Amino acid sequence: MKLFVDTGDIEEVRQAAEWGILDGVTTNPTLIAKTGHGFKETVLKICDLVPNGAISAEVVATDYDTMLKEALEIHSWHPNIVVKVPLIEPGVHLVKTLSDKNIKTNVTLVFTVSQALLAAKAGATFISNFVGRVDDISDEGMVAVSKTVQMVENYGYDSEVLVASVRHPLHVVQAVEAGAHICTLPFKIMSMLFKHPLTDAGLKRFLSDWNDAGLSIFPKEA
């Protein structure tokens, strides 16, 4: 499963990229607004930090003609940019247009399998299925993810299912179990994936035993 970081914060992208496990970055208008910096400037810095990654940048218009202009502008900034498009009627139309031009798209704000079907049929590269926002209203967001993965596999659609709106590490485990292709995580959640108290305790014991025995990997200097 590919791991993306869900942020507009350059320092978070830099750190996640240094870990060597980062496959891409997702942004959205809210995350970009939080940075206090310009959209293009932020997205291009992210592209530099993750040179082989897919970097999602979202259109903000809601009518087809303006969305198309924005999409072509965003696409022109860097070859690794994936144009993020909300699942509304002109959005699906736009995804079909962009797909016909071989421009990669990430269809966002997808909550149901029926919405995902429209995105897949339009040729979406990624289908961003939101889970946390559904859990927040006392439903099970991951159910639609499993069914969407099944749909994509049954019908052989090219789209990859991207689990978005992740709130905790268990969502990552559930994304793996559902066979999702990608999971995008806030930096804080990505950092939590490293943590286990038995890892910390185990390492402490290994190092203390090693040091007590006076061992060294390198030859000791005479």
Task: Give the residue with the Cβ less far from ligand E4P, 17 or 134.
Answer: 134
| Cα of 145 vs its chain's centroid, Å | 14
Q: Is 63 left (phi over 0), alpha (psi -120 to 50) or beta?
A: beta
Closest CA to 134 of 121, 155, 115: 115
Task: Give the residue with the Cβ less far from ligand E4P, 133 or 181.
Answer: 133
Task: Give the residue with the Cβ less far from ligand E4P, 176 or 201.
Answer: 176
| Cα of 139 vs its chain's centroid, Å | 22
Catalytic residue check, 84: yes
DSSP string, 63-113: SHHHHHHHHHHHHHH-TTEEEEEESSHHHHHHHHHHHHTT--EEEEEE-SH
CB of 209 to ligand E4P, least distance (A): 43
Closest CA to 163 of 221, 116, 196, 210: 116
Do 33 and 27 form a contact (C-beta atoms < 8 A)?
A: no
Q: What are phi and psi of 123, to 5 degrees?
A: 95, 25
- The SS3 of residue 55 is strand
Tell me which residues touch ligand E4P (CB under 6 A).
Answer: 6, 26, 28, 108, 128, 130, 132-133, 164-165, 184
Q: Say which of 84, 188, 204, 220 is annotated catalytic.
A: 84
**What is the CA angle 7-99-60, rounded to 5?**
45
Task: Give the residue with the Cβ less far from ligand E4P, 126 or 157.
Answer: 126
Task: Give the residue with the Cβ less far from ligand E4P, 148 or 165.
Answer: 165
Q: Which residues are catalytic?
A: 84
